[in-house]
Structure 1
Amino acid sequence: MAEHVTKQANLYAVQTNFYAARDKNCSNFHVDEAEIRKFLGLLLISGYHSVPSENDYWSTSDHLEIPMFPKTMKRDRFRSIKRHFHAADNSNLAQSKVAKVLPLLEMLKKRCQANGTFHEYLSIDESMIPYHGHHSAKQFLKNKPVRFGYKMWMLCSAGGYPYNSEIYCGKEEK
Protein backbone atom coordinates (compact mmCIF):
# COMPACT_ATOMS: atom_id res chain seq x y z
CA MET A 1 0.00 0.00 0.00
CA ALA A 2 2.83 2.43 0.85
CA GLU A 3 4.30 1.78 -2.60
CA HIS A 4 1.01 2.83 -4.26
CA VAL A 5 0.84 6.05 -2.20
CA THR A 6 4.45 6.88 -3.10
CA LYS A 7 3.69 6.21 -6.78
CA GLN A 8 0.68 8.57 -6.65
CA ALA A 9 2.64 11.26 -4.79
CA ASN A 10 5.40 10.98 -7.40
CA LEU A 11 2.82 11.36 -10.20
CA TYR A 12 1.40 14.52 -8.55
CA ALA A 13 4.92 15.91 -8.06
CA VAL A 14 5.74 15.34 -11.74
CA GLN A 15 2.45 16.91 -12.91
CA THR A 16 2.84 19.87 -10.53
CA ASN A 17 6.42 20.56 -11.66
CA PHE A 18 5.37 20.18 -15.30
CA TYR A 19 2.45 22.60 -14.88
CA ALA A 20 4.58 25.18 -13.04
CA ALA A 21 7.25 25.14 -15.76
CA ARG A 22 5.06 24.88 -18.87
CA ASP A 23 1.85 26.73 -18.02
CA LYS A 24 2.99 29.18 -15.33
CA ASN A 25 6.52 29.82 -16.69
CA CYS A 26 7.92 29.28 -13.19
CA SER A 27 11.11 27.33 -13.89
CA ASN A 28 12.51 27.83 -10.37
CA PHE A 29 9.59 25.96 -8.72
CA HIS A 30 10.22 22.33 -7.80
CA VAL A 31 8.38 19.95 -5.49
CA ASP A 32 9.15 16.33 -4.60
CA GLU A 33 6.88 13.47 -3.56
CA ALA A 34 7.59 13.95 0.18
CA GLU A 35 6.39 17.57 0.00
CA ILE A 36 3.28 16.53 -1.97
CA ARG A 37 2.43 13.96 0.72
CA LYS A 38 2.83 16.61 3.43
CA PHE A 39 0.77 19.10 1.40
CA LEU A 40 -2.09 16.62 0.88
CA GLY A 41 -1.98 15.63 4.56
CA LEU A 42 -2.31 19.28 5.63
CA LEU A 43 -5.22 19.72 3.22
CA LEU A 44 -7.02 16.71 4.68
CA ILE A 45 -6.44 17.89 8.25
CA SER A 46 -7.70 21.37 7.37
CA GLY A 47 -10.99 19.77 6.33
CA TYR A 48 -11.50 18.49 9.87
CA HIS A 49 -9.94 21.30 11.86
CA SER A 50 -11.31 24.56 10.49
CA VAL A 51 -10.16 28.03 11.49
CA PRO A 52 -11.40 31.44 10.26
CA SER A 53 -8.72 31.89 7.56
CA GLU A 54 -5.89 29.94 5.96
CA ASN A 55 -3.30 32.14 7.72
CA ASP A 56 -4.62 30.97 11.10
CA TYR A 57 -3.26 27.44 10.57
CA TRP A 58 0.20 28.96 11.08
CA SER A 59 -0.89 31.33 13.87
CA THR A 60 1.06 31.43 17.15
CA SER A 61 -1.95 32.76 19.07
CA ASP A 62 -2.92 30.59 22.06
CA HIS A 63 -6.51 30.04 20.92
CA LEU A 64 -5.66 29.33 17.24
CA GLU A 65 -2.28 27.60 17.37
CA ILE A 66 -2.05 24.28 15.50
CA PRO A 67 1.60 23.20 15.94
CA MET A 68 1.35 20.49 13.28
CA PHE A 69 1.10 23.01 10.44
CA PRO A 70 4.26 25.10 11.00
CA LYS A 71 6.21 21.94 11.95
CA THR A 72 5.22 20.25 8.68
CA MET A 73 5.57 23.09 6.16
CA LYS A 74 6.07 26.84 6.00
CA ARG A 75 2.98 28.86 5.08
CA ASP A 76 4.53 30.41 1.94
CA ARG A 77 5.69 27.00 0.69
CA PHE A 78 2.19 25.58 1.25
CA ARG A 79 0.69 28.44 -0.76
CA SER A 80 3.23 28.00 -3.54
CA ILE A 81 2.43 24.29 -3.86
CA LYS A 82 -1.30 25.07 -3.71
CA ARG A 83 -0.92 27.58 -6.53
CA HIS A 84 0.86 25.07 -8.79
CA PHE A 85 -0.65 21.73 -7.70
CA HIS A 86 -1.86 19.54 -10.55
CA ALA A 87 -3.08 15.95 -10.58
CA ALA A 88 -3.47 15.52 -14.37
CA ASP A 89 -1.77 16.72 -17.54
CA ASN A 90 -3.79 19.55 -19.12
CA SER A 91 -2.85 18.42 -22.63
CA ASN A 92 -4.18 14.88 -22.05
CA LEU A 93 -7.43 15.18 -20.10
CA ALA A 94 -10.29 12.68 -20.02
CA GLN A 95 -13.71 13.66 -21.35
CA SER A 96 -15.10 14.86 -18.05
CA LYS A 97 -15.95 18.23 -16.52
CA VAL A 98 -13.79 17.30 -13.52
CA ALA A 99 -10.92 15.64 -15.42
CA LYS A 100 -8.29 17.79 -13.68
CA VAL A 101 -9.11 16.36 -10.24
CA LEU A 102 -10.34 12.91 -11.29
CA PRO A 103 -7.01 11.14 -10.54
CA LEU A 104 -7.00 12.59 -7.01
CA LEU A 105 -10.66 11.65 -6.40
CA GLU A 106 -10.05 8.10 -7.67
CA MET A 107 -7.00 7.72 -5.42
CA LEU A 108 -8.96 8.91 -2.37
CA LYS A 109 -11.82 6.53 -3.21
CA LYS A 110 -9.43 3.55 -3.53
CA ARG A 111 -7.73 4.39 -0.22
CA CYS A 112 -11.08 4.70 1.58
CA GLN A 113 -12.21 1.35 0.20
CA ALA A 114 -8.92 -0.35 1.06
CA ASN A 115 -8.86 0.92 4.64
CA GLY A 116 -12.55 0.81 5.52
CA THR A 117 -14.47 -1.98 7.22
CA PHE A 118 -17.97 -2.32 5.80
CA HIS A 119 -20.76 -1.99 8.32
CA GLU A 120 -24.22 -3.51 8.31
CA TYR A 121 -25.91 -0.12 7.90
CA LEU A 122 -25.01 1.95 4.86
CA SER A 123 -26.35 5.20 3.49
CA ILE A 124 -26.41 6.57 -0.05
CA ASP A 125 -26.97 10.31 -0.22
CA GLU A 126 -25.78 13.50 -1.84
CA SER A 127 -23.05 15.62 -0.33
CA MET A 128 -22.07 19.17 -1.25
CA ILE A 129 -18.55 20.57 -1.48
CA PRO A 130 -18.98 24.35 -1.09
CA TYR A 131 -17.80 26.38 -4.09
CA HIS A 132 -18.79 29.86 -5.23
CA GLY A 133 -16.58 30.27 -8.31
CA HIS A 134 -17.46 29.54 -11.93
CA HIS A 135 -17.41 25.93 -13.12
CA SER A 136 -19.71 23.90 -15.36
CA ALA A 137 -20.06 21.11 -12.76
CA LYS A 138 -21.17 23.50 -9.98
CA GLN A 139 -24.69 22.88 -8.72
CA PHE A 140 -27.33 25.00 -7.01
CA LEU A 141 -29.57 23.26 -4.48
CA LYS A 142 -32.36 25.43 -3.15
CA ASN A 143 -33.25 25.18 0.56
CA LYS A 144 -30.02 23.39 1.51
CA PRO A 145 -27.39 24.51 4.06
CA VAL A 146 -24.72 24.50 1.31
CA ARG A 147 -26.53 25.84 -1.74
CA PHE A 148 -23.64 26.29 -4.21
CA GLY A 149 -20.94 23.76 -4.92
CA TYR A 150 -20.05 20.37 -6.29
CA LYS A 151 -22.58 17.63 -5.65
CA MET A 152 -21.25 14.19 -4.88
CA TRP A 153 -23.08 10.93 -4.43
CA MET A 154 -21.66 9.12 -1.41
CA LEU A 155 -21.92 5.60 0.00
CA CYS A 156 -21.12 5.93 3.71
CA SER A 157 -21.28 3.94 6.92
CA ALA A 158 -23.70 4.91 9.69
CA GLY A 159 -20.76 6.74 11.30
CA GLY A 160 -20.03 8.72 8.12
CA TYR A 161 -17.01 6.83 6.74
CA PRO A 162 -17.03 7.19 2.92
CA TYR A 163 -16.74 3.89 1.04
CA ASN A 164 -17.54 5.19 -2.42
CA SER A 165 -18.18 8.54 -4.06
CA GLU A 166 -18.90 9.97 -7.46
CA ILE A 167 -18.98 13.62 -8.40
CA TYR A 168 -22.14 14.68 -10.23
CA CYS A 169 -21.38 16.43 -13.53
CA GLY A 170 -24.91 16.77 -14.87
CA LYS A 171 -27.49 14.48 -16.38
CA GLU A 172 -26.02 11.54 -18.27
CA GLU A 173 -27.48 10.00 -21.44
CA LYS A 174 -27.64 6.49 -19.97
Structure 2
Amino acid sequence: MTLQEVLSALEDDQDDVLGIYIEPPESNVLSDEDSAEEDGGGFIDNLSGRQLRAGAEILVSTQRGECESDGLETSDKRSKDYAALQNFRNLNITAAEMKVFLGILILSGYNNVPSKRDYWDSSGDLPMFRPEEHLDFDECMIEYFGRHPCKQFLRGKPIRFGYKVWSLNTTAGYLVNFDVYQGRNPASNSEYEKMVGKCAAPLLQMLDEIPQEKKNLAYKLYFDNLFTGFELLKELRSRGYGATGTIRENRIPKDCPIMPSKEIRNKQRGFYDKCLSEEDSILLVKWVDNSTVRVATTCHSIQPVAPVWRFSRAEMRNVRIPRPSVISEYNRYMGGTDRMDENVSYYRIGIRGKKWWWCIFT
Protein backbone atom coordinates (compact mmCIF):
# COMPACT_ATOMS: atom_id res chain seq x y z
CA MET A 1 0.00 0.00 0.00
CA THR A 2 1.39 3.36 -1.03
CA LEU A 3 1.19 6.53 1.01
CA GLN A 4 -1.38 7.99 -1.42
CA GLU A 5 -3.66 4.97 -0.83
CA VAL A 6 -3.25 5.27 2.94
CA LEU A 7 -4.19 8.96 2.89
CA SER A 8 -7.22 8.23 0.76
CA ALA A 9 -8.40 5.56 3.18
CA LEU A 10 -8.04 7.93 6.16
CA GLU A 11 -10.03 10.85 4.74
CA ASP A 12 -13.19 9.85 6.66
CA ASP A 13 -11.82 8.48 9.94
CA GLN A 14 -8.59 9.69 11.54
CA ASP A 15 -9.44 9.43 15.23
CA ASP A 16 -7.73 6.04 15.90
CA VAL A 17 -4.57 6.75 13.91
CA LEU A 18 -1.39 6.70 16.04
CA GLY A 19 1.09 7.22 13.24
CA ILE A 20 2.07 6.60 9.61
CA TYR A 21 5.46 5.10 8.68
CA ILE A 22 6.78 5.93 5.18
CA GLU A 23 9.41 3.93 3.33
CA PRO A 24 12.29 5.82 1.70
CA PRO A 25 11.15 7.18 -1.71
CA GLU A 26 12.81 6.36 -5.00
CA SER A 27 16.14 8.10 -5.49
CA ASN A 28 16.36 7.84 -9.29
CA VAL A 29 14.24 10.96 -9.98
CA LEU A 30 16.42 14.05 -10.18
CA SER A 31 13.76 16.67 -9.47
CA ASP A 32 10.17 16.71 -8.35
CA GLU A 33 7.81 19.45 -7.19
CA ASP A 34 5.09 19.34 -4.59
CA SER A 35 1.66 20.88 -4.99
CA ALA A 36 1.70 23.23 -1.97
CA GLU A 37 3.25 26.57 -1.20
CA GLU A 38 7.03 26.52 -0.80
CA ASP A 39 6.94 28.59 2.38
CA GLY A 40 4.86 25.97 4.28
CA GLY A 41 5.95 22.60 5.63
CA GLY A 42 4.79 19.62 7.69
CA PHE A 43 1.47 19.21 5.81
CA ILE A 44 0.16 16.54 3.47
CA ASP A 45 0.07 18.98 0.57
CA ASN A 46 3.83 19.49 0.92
CA LEU A 47 4.57 15.82 0.10
CA SER A 48 6.28 15.21 -3.22
CA GLY A 49 5.19 12.69 -5.82
CA ARG A 50 8.01 10.34 -4.89
CA GLN A 51 6.87 10.32 -1.27
CA LEU A 52 3.23 9.72 -2.24
CA ARG A 53 4.28 6.74 -4.37
CA ALA A 54 6.44 5.24 -1.57
CA GLY A 55 5.22 2.35 0.54
CA ALA A 56 3.64 3.14 3.90
CA GLU A 57 2.27 1.44 7.02
CA ILE A 58 -0.41 2.77 9.34
CA LEU A 59 -0.56 2.22 13.10
CA VAL A 60 -4.14 2.24 14.42
CA SER A 61 -5.20 2.00 18.07
CA THR A 62 -7.91 -0.50 19.10
CA GLN A 63 -9.68 -1.19 22.34
CA ARG A 64 -7.71 -3.80 24.27
CA GLY A 65 -10.73 -5.54 25.72
CA GLU A 66 -12.38 -5.90 22.31
CA CYS A 67 -9.16 -7.32 20.83
CA GLU A 68 -8.71 -9.87 23.60
CA SER A 69 -12.36 -10.86 23.46
CA ASP A 70 -12.32 -11.36 19.68
CA GLY A 71 -9.11 -13.39 19.86
CA LEU A 72 -10.35 -15.66 22.63
CA GLU A 73 -13.66 -16.20 20.90
CA THR A 74 -11.86 -17.09 17.68
CA SER A 75 -9.59 -19.56 19.54
CA ASP A 76 -12.66 -21.02 21.24
CA LYS A 77 -14.42 -21.54 17.90
CA ARG A 78 -11.36 -23.00 16.18
CA SER A 79 -10.78 -25.42 19.10
CA LYS A 80 -14.36 -26.68 18.87
CA ASP A 81 -14.05 -27.10 15.10
CA TYR A 82 -10.82 -29.07 15.47
CA ALA A 83 -12.35 -31.22 18.22
CA ALA A 84 -15.30 -32.04 15.96
CA LEU A 85 -12.86 -32.91 13.18
CA GLN A 86 -11.06 -35.34 15.52
CA ASN A 87 -14.39 -36.89 16.67
CA PHE A 88 -14.24 -35.41 20.18
CA ARG A 89 -17.82 -34.78 21.22
CA ASN A 90 -19.28 -32.38 23.76
CA LEU A 91 -16.18 -30.23 23.97
CA ASN A 92 -17.38 -27.22 25.93
CA ILE A 93 -14.63 -24.60 25.97
CA THR A 94 -15.26 -21.08 27.21
CA ALA A 95 -13.24 -17.94 26.66
CA ALA A 96 -12.31 -17.93 30.36
CA GLU A 97 -10.86 -21.43 30.08
CA MET A 98 -8.84 -20.44 27.03
CA LYS A 99 -7.48 -17.49 28.99
CA VAL A 100 -6.38 -19.83 31.82
CA PHE A 101 -4.72 -22.14 29.30
CA LEU A 102 -2.76 -19.29 27.73
CA GLY A 103 -1.73 -18.13 31.21
CA ILE A 104 -0.38 -21.61 31.99
CA LEU A 105 1.69 -21.58 28.81
CA ILE A 106 3.15 -18.18 29.67
CA LEU A 107 3.88 -19.24 33.26
CA SER A 108 5.64 -22.41 32.17
CA GLY A 109 7.93 -20.32 29.98
CA TYR A 110 9.74 -18.61 32.86
CA ASN A 111 9.06 -21.01 35.75
CA ASN A 112 10.96 -24.18 34.88
CA VAL A 113 10.35 -27.36 36.89
CA PRO A 114 11.70 -30.90 36.28
CA SER A 115 8.40 -32.38 35.09
CA LYS A 116 4.90 -31.27 34.04
CA ARG A 117 3.39 -32.96 37.07
CA ASP A 118 5.27 -30.55 39.36
CA TYR A 119 3.17 -27.63 38.07
CA TRP A 120 0.17 -29.12 39.88
CA ASP A 121 2.02 -30.08 43.07
CA SER A 122 0.58 -28.05 45.94
CA SER A 123 2.82 -29.50 48.68
CA GLY A 124 5.43 -27.11 50.02
CA ASP A 125 9.09 -27.73 50.75
CA LEU A 126 10.03 -29.50 53.97
CA PRO A 127 10.68 -26.81 56.60
CA MET A 128 12.76 -29.22 58.68
CA PHE A 129 14.02 -32.78 58.80
CA ARG A 130 11.26 -35.31 59.19
CA PRO A 131 12.70 -38.51 60.66
CA GLU A 132 12.91 -41.48 58.32
CA GLU A 133 14.03 -44.95 59.19
CA HIS A 134 16.61 -45.35 56.42
CA LEU A 135 19.50 -42.87 56.05
CA ASP A 136 22.38 -42.90 53.60
CA PHE A 137 25.91 -41.63 54.32
CA ASP A 138 28.20 -41.06 51.37
CA GLU A 139 30.57 -38.58 49.76
CA CYS A 140 29.69 -36.18 46.98
CA MET A 141 31.64 -33.69 44.89
CA ILE A 142 30.94 -30.01 44.28
CA GLU A 143 32.51 -28.93 41.00
CA TYR A 144 35.14 -26.22 41.38
CA PHE A 145 38.09 -25.34 39.13
CA GLY A 146 39.57 -22.43 41.04
CA ARG A 147 42.44 -22.43 43.50
CA HIS A 148 41.76 -23.46 47.06
CA PRO A 149 43.54 -25.75 49.57
CA CYS A 150 40.36 -27.82 50.07
CA LYS A 151 39.96 -28.68 46.39
CA GLN A 152 40.23 -32.41 45.73
CA PHE A 153 40.92 -34.58 42.70
CA LEU A 154 39.11 -37.94 42.50
CA ARG A 155 40.07 -40.06 39.53
CA GLY A 156 37.23 -41.93 37.84
CA LYS A 157 34.44 -39.79 39.32
CA PRO A 158 31.87 -37.86 37.20
CA ILE A 159 33.11 -34.69 38.92
CA ARG A 160 36.87 -35.00 39.31
CA PHE A 161 37.79 -31.52 40.57
CA GLY A 162 36.07 -29.74 43.42
CA TYR A 163 35.15 -29.91 47.08
CA LYS A 164 34.51 -33.29 48.70
CA VAL A 165 31.52 -33.27 51.04
CA TRP A 166 30.38 -35.92 53.54
CA SER A 167 26.59 -36.07 53.23
CA LEU A 168 23.87 -37.67 55.34
CA ASN A 169 20.68 -38.08 53.28
CA THR A 170 17.32 -39.74 53.30
CA THR A 171 16.46 -42.20 50.55
CA ALA A 172 14.47 -39.45 48.78
CA GLY A 173 17.58 -37.22 48.58
CA TYR A 174 16.79 -34.84 51.46
CA LEU A 175 20.06 -33.53 52.92
CA VAL A 176 20.02 -34.02 56.70
CA ASN A 177 23.57 -32.84 57.44
CA PHE A 178 26.87 -32.35 55.65
CA ASP A 179 30.53 -31.58 56.30
CA VAL A 180 32.99 -30.20 53.75
CA TYR A 181 36.25 -32.14 53.80
CA GLN A 182 39.10 -29.84 54.83
CA GLY A 183 41.93 -32.27 55.50
CA ARG A 184 42.83 -31.35 59.06
CA ASN A 185 39.55 -30.18 60.53
CA PRO A 186 39.77 -28.18 63.78
CA ALA A 187 36.21 -29.28 64.65
CA SER A 188 36.98 -33.01 64.28
CA ASN A 189 36.65 -35.45 67.15
CA SER A 190 39.95 -37.21 67.77
CA GLU A 191 38.32 -40.01 69.77
CA TYR A 192 35.98 -40.87 66.91
CA GLU A 193 38.87 -40.81 64.43
CA LYS A 194 40.90 -43.27 66.52
CA MET A 195 37.90 -45.55 66.97
CA VAL A 196 36.36 -45.71 63.46
CA GLY A 197 38.80 -43.81 61.22
CA LYS A 198 38.87 -40.32 59.74
CA CYS A 199 36.36 -41.09 56.99
CA ALA A 200 33.65 -42.50 59.28
CA ALA A 201 34.17 -40.04 62.15
CA PRO A 202 32.04 -37.29 60.51
CA LEU A 203 29.08 -39.70 60.49
CA LEU A 204 29.18 -40.06 64.28
CA GLN A 205 29.46 -36.29 64.67
CA MET A 206 26.43 -35.75 62.43
CA LEU A 207 24.44 -38.24 64.49
CA ASP A 208 25.41 -36.33 67.63
CA GLU A 209 24.02 -33.12 66.09
CA ILE A 210 20.55 -34.60 65.48
CA PRO A 211 18.01 -33.00 67.88
CA GLN A 212 17.49 -34.94 71.07
CA GLU A 213 13.83 -35.70 70.39
CA LYS A 214 14.85 -37.34 67.08
CA LYS A 215 18.19 -38.85 68.09
CA ASN A 216 16.78 -41.83 69.98
CA LEU A 217 14.82 -43.22 67.03
CA ALA A 218 15.83 -46.57 65.52
CA TYR A 219 17.57 -45.42 62.34
CA LYS A 220 19.10 -47.76 59.78
CA LEU A 221 22.23 -46.39 58.15
CA TYR A 222 23.79 -47.41 54.82
CA PHE A 223 27.29 -46.62 53.51
CA ASP A 224 29.91 -48.03 51.13
CA ASN A 225 33.25 -49.76 51.73
CA LEU A 226 35.09 -46.48 52.33
CA PHE A 227 33.46 -46.21 55.75
CA THR A 228 32.44 -49.75 56.75
CA GLY A 229 34.36 -51.42 59.52
CA PHE A 230 33.53 -53.68 62.44
CA GLU A 231 34.24 -50.89 64.95
CA LEU A 232 31.78 -48.56 63.23
CA LEU A 233 29.08 -51.24 63.13
CA LYS A 234 29.55 -52.00 66.82
CA GLU A 235 29.46 -48.30 67.75
CA LEU A 236 26.22 -47.71 65.82
CA ARG A 237 24.64 -50.82 67.35
CA SER A 238 25.52 -49.56 70.83
CA ARG A 239 23.60 -46.37 70.01
CA GLY A 240 20.56 -48.34 68.93
CA TYR A 241 21.07 -47.86 65.18
CA GLY A 242 21.16 -50.55 62.51
CA ALA A 243 23.89 -50.37 59.88
CA THR A 244 24.62 -52.01 56.55
CA GLY A 245 27.53 -51.46 54.21
CA THR A 246 29.87 -53.05 51.73
CA ILE A 247 33.21 -53.92 53.31
CA ARG A 248 36.73 -54.30 51.99
CA GLU A 249 38.53 -57.62 52.18
CA ASN A 250 41.35 -56.31 54.37
CA ARG A 251 38.86 -55.10 57.02
CA ILE A 252 37.42 -58.56 57.63
CA PRO A 253 38.91 -60.18 60.75
CA LYS A 254 41.35 -62.95 59.90
CA ASP A 255 39.67 -65.34 62.33
CA CYS A 256 36.30 -64.97 60.56
CA PRO A 257 35.25 -68.45 59.31
CA ILE A 258 34.05 -67.32 55.88
CA MET A 259 35.21 -68.50 52.49
CA PRO A 260 38.11 -66.39 51.16
CA SER A 261 37.45 -64.29 48.10
CA LYS A 262 40.04 -66.23 46.06
CA GLU A 263 37.95 -69.38 46.44
CA ILE A 264 34.45 -67.89 46.23
CA ARG A 265 35.13 -66.05 42.96
CA ASN A 266 35.41 -69.43 41.21
CA LYS A 267 31.93 -70.45 42.35
CA GLN A 268 28.83 -70.30 40.21
CA ARG A 269 27.07 -66.99 39.86
CA GLY A 270 24.53 -66.56 42.65
CA PHE A 271 26.54 -68.55 45.21
CA TYR A 272 26.85 -66.95 48.66
CA ASP A 273 28.50 -67.65 51.98
CA LYS A 274 27.80 -66.12 55.39
CA CYS A 275 29.34 -65.74 58.80
CA LEU A 276 27.66 -64.47 61.97
CA SER A 277 29.56 -62.95 64.87
CA GLU A 278 27.32 -63.76 67.82
CA GLU A 279 29.38 -61.59 70.16
CA ASP A 280 29.07 -58.45 68.03
CA SER A 281 25.79 -59.39 66.25
CA ILE A 282 27.37 -58.65 62.87
CA LEU A 283 26.39 -60.70 59.82
CA LEU A 284 28.98 -60.92 57.04
CA VAL A 285 27.83 -62.09 53.58
CA LYS A 286 29.77 -62.77 50.39
CA TRP A 287 27.75 -63.11 47.19
CA VAL A 288 28.99 -63.92 43.68
CA ASP A 289 27.68 -61.59 40.96
CA ASN A 290 29.88 -60.14 38.20
CA SER A 291 32.43 -59.98 41.01
CA THR A 292 32.40 -60.85 44.70
CA VAL A 293 30.14 -58.58 46.77
CA ARG A 294 30.93 -58.32 50.49
CA VAL A 295 28.35 -56.84 52.85
CA ALA A 296 28.32 -56.50 56.65
CA THR A 297 25.11 -55.70 58.55
CA THR A 298 23.62 -55.55 62.01
CA CYS A 299 19.97 -55.17 60.99
CA HIS A 300 19.30 -57.46 57.99
CA SER A 301 19.50 -61.18 57.30
CA ILE A 302 19.99 -63.66 54.47
CA GLN A 303 16.36 -64.67 54.20
CA PRO A 304 14.34 -64.38 52.14
CA VAL A 305 16.58 -65.27 49.21
CA ALA A 306 14.89 -63.84 46.14
CA PRO A 307 15.72 -64.49 42.48
CA VAL A 308 17.12 -61.70 40.32
CA TRP A 309 17.64 -61.52 36.57
CA ARG A 310 21.17 -61.38 35.17
CA PHE A 311 22.53 -61.75 31.63
CA SER A 312 24.65 -64.85 31.11
CA ARG A 313 27.36 -64.55 28.47
CA ALA A 314 27.83 -68.31 28.41
CA GLU A 315 24.16 -69.00 27.62
CA MET A 316 23.57 -65.65 25.82
CA ARG A 317 20.27 -65.05 27.62
CA ASN A 318 18.88 -63.69 30.89
CA VAL A 319 18.98 -66.14 33.76
CA ARG A 320 17.65 -66.04 37.32
CA ILE A 321 20.13 -66.31 40.18
CA PRO A 322 19.48 -66.22 43.95
CA ARG A 323 20.27 -63.03 45.87
CA PRO A 324 20.25 -62.70 49.68
CA SER A 325 17.87 -60.20 51.25
CA VAL A 326 20.66 -58.09 52.75
CA ILE A 327 22.00 -57.33 49.23
CA SER A 328 18.54 -56.29 48.04
CA GLU A 329 17.99 -53.99 51.04
CA TYR A 330 21.37 -52.35 50.56
CA ASN A 331 20.68 -51.63 46.88
CA ARG A 332 17.27 -50.26 47.76
CA TYR A 333 18.31 -47.69 50.37
CA MET A 334 21.87 -46.76 49.43
CA GLY A 335 21.23 -44.16 46.70
CA GLY A 336 20.14 -41.16 48.80
CA THR A 337 23.21 -39.03 48.09
CA ASP A 338 23.05 -39.76 44.36
CA ARG A 339 19.38 -38.77 44.43
CA MET A 340 20.35 -35.49 46.12
CA ASP A 341 22.87 -34.74 43.35
CA GLU A 342 20.14 -35.40 40.78
CA ASN A 343 17.69 -33.08 42.55
CA VAL A 344 20.31 -30.32 42.79
CA SER A 345 21.02 -30.59 39.06
CA TYR A 346 17.32 -29.96 38.32
CA TYR A 347 17.30 -26.69 40.32
CA ARG A 348 20.80 -25.45 39.59
CA ILE A 349 21.20 -21.70 40.22
CA GLY A 350 22.46 -19.96 37.10
CA ILE A 351 24.07 -16.95 38.81
CA ARG A 352 27.85 -17.24 38.81
CA GLY A 353 30.38 -15.82 41.22
CA LYS A 354 34.14 -15.76 41.67
CA LYS A 355 34.26 -16.43 45.40
CA TRP A 356 35.50 -19.89 46.44
CA TRP A 357 32.42 -20.55 48.56
CA TRP A 358 29.86 -19.54 45.89
CA CYS A 359 29.67 -22.98 44.24
CA ILE A 360 28.83 -24.63 47.59
CA PHE A 361 25.59 -22.67 47.86
CA THR A 362 24.67 -22.73 44.16
Please say which structure displays the higher CA radius of gyration: 2
> Scaled by the length of structure 2, what TM-score is found?
0.17
> Scaled by the length of structure 1, what TM-score is found?
0.35
Higher strand share: 2
Higher helix share: 1
**Structure with higher RCO (Cα < 8 A, 6+ apart):** 1
